[in-house]
């Protein structure tokens, strides 16, 4: 058993009251850059990829990683994924093009999503090299892929994304595995599809993805049981892969102490499925981590425009807003906000807000923090995933640049 791995250490923290990101003091590092901007670490990314992969290897032979590139599709991230031999999970033609131009082989691309258009499907099927699988989410999509494959006289690999009807413990907007959600197909729908002939389709796998930033393993366990039931009822043990999606949570703050660790996650999946495949060929095991790979490898750097105290609230008004990080507004998400200098004075309670004309434009409410002053800089933690990729130009703002700490002299 390979025990040669350790958890990537925390990469944002104080040394002598000065904030460091990947061993560099931020104040000096960024003195020539105007804010706001995203700052990533190549080393952080590499550590996360290698950690996730080596943990998975500890439990499975040749586990396959398909990075969910919706989390952060910066070309350098994709190049690193490709250079380390991994694949991606895409949800649009745009992501396909980015992945291929970063060097990801089409044979390592899985295409998920409920709304793949005919144009997107045709563009991908018409390429010389086929993708690994279309993870299909409806019978209508299946019919479309069949029609286009037949027109191109091709056999297309597909997998069914099962909607296992489970309630994952996470924010309701990022829970995807219930029958009230638009994602995947119920086992009944999959069985209807299995009963029909699809001359140009080759069923290669089954997938589940029940949500993101999952708080515990409970719903995943139930979803896997549903998947195994479906396999048993329909004699699908011969499938070449089982895809367990993404969703593994990362540590954002005080509410995240009980998250399932990566080794526990893989160990639980292994113990659930191993007995099932005892007497048959073990399928390839696929994971689609997004947040786990990029989340803590990035921060958002912002400057305090001004302080404002109305006697009820003490606002820290930053030059970044919901346009750069919408997660607090959308999901009530917690992100650490750390000023570059930690002062000795007593902590204060602040609302950290942005400049956008929306009450929802906040990063944190009633947050205890070291004393903050006008023109201070802050780093907002865990902005490597779902920050830049969800940015908008609302209020005619520009999308801020992205830098790598390794490239900053």
Q: How far is 254 from 246, CA to CA, in rounded Å?
A: 22
Regarding 327 and contact with ligand LLP (CB under 6 A), the answer is: yes
For 324, which DSSP code?
Answer: T
Residues 255 to 284: which contact ligand LLP by CB under 6 A?
A: none
Site string for ligand LLP, 112-151 (x = CB under 6 A): x---------------------------------------
Tokens 């399932």 found at: 260
Before 36, cis peptide (omega within 30)? yes
Report the nearest approach of ligand LLP to the CB of residue 222 (Å).
18
- The residue count for binding ligand LLP (CB under 6 A) is 20
User: Which whole-number Å values give the CA distances from 219 to 128, 139, 168, 177, in the listed order?
Assistant: 39, 25, 5, 9
Between 70 and 367, CB nearer to ligand LLP: 70
Q: In the bound complex, what is the minimum distance in angstroms from residue 330's beta carbon to ligand LLP?
A: 7
What is d(CA 73, CA 393) in angstroms, rounded to the nearest whole number?
Answer: 18
Which two tokens mark 167? 């309630």
**How many Å apart are CA 11 and CA 170, to the nearest integer?**
25
Residue choice 288, 319, 324, 402 for contact with ligand LLP (CB under 6 A): 288
**Residue span binding ligand LLP (CB under 6 A) among the ranges 36-44, 57-65, 245-253, 274-282:** 245-253
Kind plus residue range of the DSSP H or E element containing 134? strand 133-136
Q: Which of 282, 315, 331, 394 binds ligand LLP (CB under 6 A)?
A: 331
Is 85:64 a contact under the CB 8 Å cutoff? no
186-215 residues in contact with ligand LLP (CB under 6 A) are 209, 212-213
Rg (CA), the chain: 23
Site string for ligand LLP, 51-70 (x = CB under 6 A): -----------------x--
Please choose, from the candidates 378, 387, 373, 375, the residue with its C-alpha nearest in 3D space to the C-alpha of residue 327.
387
| CB-nearer residue toward ligand LLP: 20 or 327 | 327
> Is 55 tagged catalytic?
no
Q: Is 298 in the site for ligand LLP (CB under 6 A)?
A: no
Neighbouring-strand partners of residue 195 = none
Give the x-and-dash track for 7-46 against ligand LLP (CB under 6 A): ----------------------------------------
80 is a contact residue toward ligand LLP (CB under 6 A):
no
Could you give the string, one character per residue 164-183, with x where binding to ligand LLP holds by CB under 6 A and - elsewhere? ----------x---------
Q: How far apart are CA 66 and CA 63, in angstroms?
A: 10
Please name which of 391, 408, 241 lies closest in space to residue 325, comparing C-alpha atoms. 391
| Least CB distance to ligand LLP at residue 29 (A) | 26
Element (H, E) at 218: helix 218-234
Catalytic residue numbers read 357
List of residues contacting ligand LLP (CB under 6 A): 68, 71, 89, 112, 174, 209, 212-213, 245-248, 288-292, 327, 331, 386
């Amino acid at each position: 058993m390979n025990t040669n791995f350790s958890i990537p250490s925390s990469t944002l923290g104080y040394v002598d009251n000065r904030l460091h990101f990947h061993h560099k003091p931020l104040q000096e590092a960024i003195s020539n850059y105007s804010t706001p901007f995203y700052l990533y670490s190549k080393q952080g990314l590499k550590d996360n990829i290698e950690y996730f992969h080596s943990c998975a290897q500890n439990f499975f032979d040749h586990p396959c990683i398909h990075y969910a590139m919706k989390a952060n599709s910066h070309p350098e991230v994709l190049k690193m994924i490709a250079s380390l031999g991994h694949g991606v999970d895409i949800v649009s033609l745009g992501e396909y093009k980015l992945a291929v131009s970063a060097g990801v082989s089409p044979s390592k691309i899985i295409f998920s999503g409920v709304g793949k258009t005919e144009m997107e499907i045709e563009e991908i099927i018409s390429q010389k090299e086929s993708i690994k699988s279309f993870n299909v989410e409806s019978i209508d999509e299946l019919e479309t892929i069949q029609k286009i494959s037949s027109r191109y006289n091709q056999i297309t690999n597909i997998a069914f994304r099962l909607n296992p009807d489970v309630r994952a413990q996470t924010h309701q907007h990022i829970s995807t595995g219930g029958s009230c959600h638009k994602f995947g197909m119920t086992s009944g729908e999959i069985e209807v599809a299995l009963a029909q002939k699809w001359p140009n389709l080759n069923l290669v796998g089954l997938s589940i993805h029940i949500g993101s930033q999952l708080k515990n393993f409970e719903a995943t366990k139930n979803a896997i049981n549903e998947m195994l039931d479906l396999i048993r009822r329909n004699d699908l043990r011969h499938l070449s892969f089982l895809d367990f999606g993404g969703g593994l949570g990362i540590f954002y703050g005080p509410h995240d102490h009980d998250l399932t660790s990566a080794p526990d996650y893989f160990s639980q999946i292994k113990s659930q499925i191993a007995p099932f495949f005892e007497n048959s060929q073990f399928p390839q095991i696929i994971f689609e981590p997004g947040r786990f790979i990029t989340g803590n490898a990035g921060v958002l750097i912002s400057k305090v425009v001004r302080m404002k105290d109305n006697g009820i609230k003490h606002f820290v008004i930053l030059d970044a807003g919901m346009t750069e990080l919408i997660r607090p507004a959308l999901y009530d998400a917690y992100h650490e906000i750390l000023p570059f200098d930690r002062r000795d004075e007593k902590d204060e309670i602040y609302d950290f807000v942005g400049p956008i004309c929306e009450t929802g434009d906040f990063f944190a409410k009633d947050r205890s923090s070291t004393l903050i002053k006008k023109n201070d800089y802050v780093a907002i933690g865990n902005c490597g995933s779902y920050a830049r990729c969800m940015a908008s130009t609302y209020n005619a703002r520009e999308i801020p640049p992205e830098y790598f700490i390794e490239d900053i002299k």
